[in-house]
């Protein structure tokens, strides 16, 4: 099983997915608002006529359909909100991982520079032999830390 290793592209993809979900939610909200306006207009029209007339029954049926549609839209909006929340949490985790990885990379670079410095010191024949040996051992220890 391969280990998941997020990168900058993962972060960008999550941000794009969140924006797409927000756009979809905006469209649903617009549709819901239009639905509510139509419901209000039908209610006003129904109040002016006999509810048992043919048009009154049509209005009642149409309002029932619109209310059902509004409930479905509301469910979709809630699902989108939950999905956005999940993606935001994942985005936060990815960004934290990337941040920690950058810190690790910086630390490894510093250790590598320090190892190189002591390797140069141990190779300098103008230095005291015991200091060169100590520098060489220290560089070896740094090498083992970097490789593990």
Q: What percent of the chain has pLDDT over 70?
A: 97
More confident: 33 or 143: 33
Report the pLDDT value the prediction gives residue 61, as an integer from 0 to 100: 94
- Reported as a pLDDT band with limits 50, 70 and 90, residue 1 is very low
Instruction: Report pLDDT digits (tens) over 82-98.
Output: 999 999 999 998 888 88
The 10s digit of each residue's pLDDT in 57-69 is 999 999 999 999 9
Give the residue-averaged pLDDT of 127-133: 86
Cα 57-59-65 angle, rounded to 5 deg: 105
CA distance 139 to 144: 9
For residues 92-107, average pLDDT = 83
CB of 73 closer than 8 Å to CB of 28: yes
State whether residue 129 is helix, strand or coil. Answer: helix
pLDDT at residue 124 is higher than 60: yes
- Higher-confidence position of 23 and 8: 23
């Amino acid at each position: 099983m391969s280990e998941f290793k997020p990168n900058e592209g993962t972060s960008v993809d999550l941000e794009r997915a969140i924006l797409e979900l927000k756009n979809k939610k905006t469209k649903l909200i617009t549709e819901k608002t239009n639905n509510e306006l139509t419901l209000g207009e039908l209610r006003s029209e129904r109040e002016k006529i006999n509810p048992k007339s043919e048009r009154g029954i049509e209005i009642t049926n149409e309002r029932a359909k619109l209310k059902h549609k509004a409930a479905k839209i509301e469910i979709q909006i809630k699902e989108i909100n939950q999905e956005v929340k999940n993606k935001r949490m994942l985005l936060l985790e990815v960004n934290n991982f990337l941040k920690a990885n950058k810190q690790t990379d910086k630390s490894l670079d510093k250790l590598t520079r320090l190892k190189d410095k002591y390797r140069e010191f141990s190779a300098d024949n103008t230095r005291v032999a015991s200091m060169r040996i100590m520098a060489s051992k220290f560089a070896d220890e740094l090498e083992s830390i970097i490789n593990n």
